[in-house]
Amino acid sequence: MPPTIQESFSDPSAALLSTYAINDSMNQLILSHLNPRAWRANPPGEKAKGRTIAAIFAHLHNCRLVWLRLSAPHLKCPKRLDPRRCTIKQAAFAHRQSAAQCLRMLTEALSTNPNRRVTKFFRDSWVPTWPANATMFAYMFSHEAHHRGQILMLAHLLGYRLPEPNIWQWDKLWKQLRTAEPRSKALT
């Protein structure tokens, strides 16, 4: 289970792990409130190029799998999502799985244990390797926040606004995360 808010204030690593856990809550909130018609709708515009919301969620999950496979090969990787075929339900399930494994990876990466197995962050085979530390968290979180912004903007441009509760109500997300027994076990 993620640390409590009070624990997070006294331990920077705990704060980062809590924030990453909330990160998936934001994705799950969007997935649970997204109008199904927006899922595969083409982006607006003259040439209508770009990813659909389904493709963006698949990309997020599949990037997590690359990070896990390269940085924490001892952790089991969930299955990839096909951006052209996955459903909202499949994406939500896959995101829960990959978020749980990424949280495990980050827990090891941020540990002070000298025998930890996650010591390097491999973002992809063609980019430089980084040390597995807070920078790893920052990259992972900002990558997802960037694409979450794309998803929200695309839904808005397509005419599908997400209802309340919104993803910026961190206190509510925190409480849900702490009280959702099955999910909190998945994130430990």
Q: What is the CATH number of the domain that holds 76?
A: 1.20.120.450
Number of domains in the chain: 1
Question: pTM of the prediction?
Answer: 0.85
Domain that holds residue 43: 5-186
CA 135 to chain centre: 16
In percent, the amount of the chain with pLDDT more than 90 equals 64
Span 46-58, mean pLDDT? Answer: 87
pLDDT in tens, 67-103: 999 999 999 999 999 999 999 999 999 999 999 999 9
Choose the weakest-confidence range: 35-39, 44-48, 85-89, 92-96: 44-48
Which residues fall within 8 angstroms of residue 130, CB to CB, at 6 or more apart?
120, 121, 123, 136, 139
At a CB cut-off of 8 Å and minimum separation 6, what does 139 contact? Answer: 121, 123, 130
> Hey, is 154 helix, strand or coil?
helix
Gyration radius (Cα) of the chain, Å: 17
User: pLDDT at residue 175 above 50?
Assistant: yes
